[in-house]
């Protein structure tokens, strides 16, 4: 299955997005996997032709490496989907959306002015940026990416473009993007913004999968980009100075659109931007959504974004939360393939991150506190396949093995040529016996105590890592 494309009038040229989303959620992540790989492959193929609009086309490899450094070491970040959609929380006029919460306006075809009236009810008095950042930090997350404007078109920052924003248009009269960016700076954690650059169901000319449903949406996409998206992106980059700009939903953007949108890039030569801008601009990072690619993306930086339950924006009745074990094993799996995990929270309308999400994040942080060396700053596993249920990462002369199920006979690392100096349980420091076979194979003995999530082992190598090609 391929990803739907929207043309410049906002019409979907292949398939209705609602169908796309429902089918994808029914069939599961495999569909998303194919779909997004498809988009990514196309993105890389087109890159060479459109270099002229790629804002980083002339960057030196050395600068690229330096720019990506913190991001690569981070491995774990928090995605925050928060906007007007938190108010209906999945239910509008008695109708429940079957899809992800932030798409409610689209899925229930809510007229533009009716939807806009939700702003008067949005008063998240319990929002506290320091608390959110503390939750991310305690979870072991190293960066945050928050929606500054989702497809609904509502700005979560004090934009000068118009009053359809949380500062001018709600009783709240505060700027959460500014508060979050300041709280992150204080706490020493990177802050980034998500921005929907083409889909905008509120402003005239903005695109919509499947086409517009209200004449108020009609207009010209380039005019929209010029008058709304580009000025807002400029405000974000110059006033809020995010470390990450997370574009979303590729639309057939013209080169002129792209140039308008990236005009403010020179203001920050360190900005990290993903691959969803459009027109073949490769961006810095691949963005598999809701799945972990089997082999990662060798040669490319990548980040799996994923929900804790089944929605990005808050839905009061979505209780399908993944277990802490699943979430941590996902992170371990992703790190073993050289990627990052951007795990989403969907705060409630009052400004509180749902308790089941906070609980899981807290437990993840507890595990990472003891076992974080096996994740942060590591690179992908040198082994194609391990003969046990577990994952491996590397950092210099250290191999980290996260074991989900220990073989009674102990661990062997197939093809490892470098001598093993020693091995210990990361969380406890407990040394593990090394058993040498006549053929030189070394087996690491099973620890007495196992962690049900994953027992991380640090293997100290006597020299530079060398593994037989497998």
Q: Which residues bind ligand GLC (CB under 6 A)?
A: 81, 100, 102-103, 248-249, 289, 305, 312
Q: In this complex, which beta carbon is closest to ligand GLC, that of residue 116 or of residue 305?
A: 305
Dihedral angle over CA of 461, 465, 468, 470, nearest 10: 110
Q: In this complex, which beta carbon is closest to ligand GLC, that of residue 237 or of residue 343?
A: 343
Task: For the CB of residue 262, give the shortest distance to ligand GLC in the complex, in Å.
Answer: 20
Specify whether the CB–CB gap between 9 and 221 falls below 8 A: yes
Q: In this complex, which beta carbon is closest to ligand GLC, that of residue 102 or of residue 235?
A: 102
Token pair for 409 = 């006979």
Q: Containing H/E element for 399? A: strand 398-405
Task: For the CB of residue 464, give the shortest distance to ligand GLC in the complex, in Å.
Answer: 38
Residue given tokens 């920052």 in the structure block? 157
Q: In this complex, which beta carbon is closest to ligand GLC, that of residue 103 or of residue 302?
A: 103
How many residues are listed for the chain in this entry? Answer: 470
Task: For the CB of residue 289, give the shortest distance to ligand GLC in the complex, in Å.
Answer: 5
Task: For the CB of residue 246, give the shortest distance to ligand GLC in the complex, in Å.
Answer: 8
Instruction: For residue 247, give the nearest of 223, 281, 211, 219 by alpha carbon.
Output: 281
Using CA atoms, how far residue 155 sits from 170, 239, 353, 392, 421, in Å, is: 11, 14, 19, 41, 55
Whole-angstrom Cα distance, residue 46 to residue 359? 43
Q: In this complex, which beta carbon is closest to ligand GLC, that of residue 235 or of residue 303?
A: 303
Specify whether the CB–CB gap between 197 and 127 falls below 8 A: no
Q: In this complex, which beta carbon is closest to ligand GLC, that of residue 100 or of residue 237?
A: 100
Q: Containing H/E element for 413? A: none
As a whole number of Å, the CA-based R_g of the chain is: 23
Q: In this complex, which beta carbon is closest to ligand GLC, that of residue 253 or of residue 411?
A: 253
Using CA atoms, how far residue 45 sits from 32, 38, 49, 197, 247, in Å, is: 20, 11, 8, 22, 19
Q: In this complex, which beta carbon is closest to ligand GLC, that of residue 19 or of residue 49?
A: 19
Task: For the CB of residue 131, give the shortest distance to ligand GLC in the complex, in Å.
Answer: 23
Task: For the CB of residue 276, give the shortest distance to ligand GLC in the complex, in Å.
Answer: 8
Q: Are strands 389-395 and 398-405 parallel, antiparallel or unpaired?
A: antiparallel
Neighbours of 123 (CB within 10 A): 18
Task: For the CB of residue 196, give the shortest distance to ligand GLC in the complex, in Å.
Answer: 8
Q: In this complex, which beta carbon is closest to ligand GLC, that of residue 347 or of residue 365?
A: 347
Using CA atoms, how far residue 7 sits from 14, 148, 258, in Å, is: 10, 24, 15
Q: In this complex, which beta carbon is closest to ligand GLC, that of residue 201 or of residue 400?
A: 201
Task: For the CB of residue 209, give the shortest distance to ligand GLC in the complex, in Å.
Answer: 8
Whole-angstrom Cα distance, residue 421 to residue 385? 22
Specify whether the CB–CB gap between 277 and 305 falls below 8 A: no
Whole-angstrom Cα distance, residue 139 to residue 27? 31
Instruction: For residue 217, give the nearest of 151, 118, 150, 147 by alpha carbon.
Output: 151
Sheet strands (E) in 183-300: 190-195, 244-247, 272-273, 285-286
Using CA atoms, how far residue 21 sits from 51, 103, 107, 115, in Å, is: 31, 10, 10, 21
Q: In this complex, which beta carbon is closest to ligand GLC, that of residue 127 or of residue 246?
A: 246
Task: For the CB of residue 51, give the shortest distance to ligand GLC in the complex, in Å.
Answer: 25
Task: For the CB of residue 185, give the shortest distance to ligand GLC in the complex, in Å.
Answer: 25
Task: For the CB of residue 387, give the shortest distance to ligand GLC in the complex, in Å.
Answer: 35
Q: In this complex, which beta carbon is closest to ligand GLC, that of residue 249 or of residue 340?
A: 249
Task: Quickly list H helices, 48-126.
Answer: 61-74, 104-107, 112-116
Task: For the CB of residue 269, give the shortest distance to ligand GLC in the complex, in Å.
Answer: 26
């Amino acid at each position: 299955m391929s990803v739907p494309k929207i043309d410049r009038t906002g019409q979907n040229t292949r398939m209705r997005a609602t169908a796309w989303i429902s089918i994808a959620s029914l069939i599961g992540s495999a569909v998303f996997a194919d779909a997004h790989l498809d988009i990514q492959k196309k993105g890389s193929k087109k890159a060479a032709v459109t270099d002229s609009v790629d804002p980083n086309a002339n960057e030196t490899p050395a600068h690229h490496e330096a720019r990506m450094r913190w991001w690569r070491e981070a491995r774990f970040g928090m995605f925050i989907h928060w906007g007007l959609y938190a108010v209906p929380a999945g239910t509008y006029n008695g109708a429940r959306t079957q899809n992800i919460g932030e798409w409610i306006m689209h899925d229930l075809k809510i007229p533009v002015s009716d939807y806009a009236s939700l702003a008067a009810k949005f008063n998240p008095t319990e929002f506290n940026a320091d608390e959110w950042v503390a939750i991310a930090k305690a979870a072991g997350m190293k960066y945050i990416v928050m929606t500054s404007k989702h497809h609904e078109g509502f700005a979560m920052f004090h934009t000068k473009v118009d009053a359809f924003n949380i500062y001018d248009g709600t009783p709240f009269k505060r700027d959460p993007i500014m508060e979050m960016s300041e709280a992150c700076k204080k706490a020493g954690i990177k802050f980034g913004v998500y921005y929907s650059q083409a889909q905008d169901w509120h402003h005239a000319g903005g695109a919509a999968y499947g086409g517009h449903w209200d004449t108020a949406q009609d207009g010209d996409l380039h005019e929209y980009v010029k008058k709304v998206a580009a000025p807002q992106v400029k405000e974000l980059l110059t006033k809020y100075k995010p470390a990450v700009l997370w574009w979303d939903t590729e639309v057939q953007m013209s080169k002129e659109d792209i140039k308008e949108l990236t005009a403010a890039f020179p203001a920050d030569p360190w900005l990290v931007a993903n691959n969803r801008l459009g027109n073949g601009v490769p961006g810095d990072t691949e963005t598999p959504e809701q799945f972990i690619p089997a082999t990662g993306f060798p040669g490319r930086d990548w980040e799996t974004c994923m929900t804790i339950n089944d929605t990005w924006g808050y839905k009061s009745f979505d209780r399908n939360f993944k277990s802490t074990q699943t979430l941590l094993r996902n992170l371990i799996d992703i790190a073993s393939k050289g990627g990052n995990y951007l795990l989403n929270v969907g705060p409630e309308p009052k400004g509180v991150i749902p308790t089941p999400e906070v609980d899981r994040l807290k437990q993840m942080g507890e595990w990472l506190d003891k076992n974080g060396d096996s994740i942060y700053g590591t690179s992908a596993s040198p082994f194609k396949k391990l003969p046990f249920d577990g994952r491996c990462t590397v950092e210099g002369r250290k191999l980290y093995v996260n074991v989900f199920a220990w073989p009674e006979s102990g661990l062997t690392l197939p093809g490892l040529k470098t001598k093993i100096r020693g091995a210990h349980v990361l969380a406890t420091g407990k040394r593990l016996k090394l058993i040498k076979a006549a053929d030189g194979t070394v087996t690491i003995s099973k620890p007495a105590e196992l962690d049900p999530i994953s027992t991380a082992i640090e293997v100290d190598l006597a020299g530079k890592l060398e593994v037989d090609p497998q």
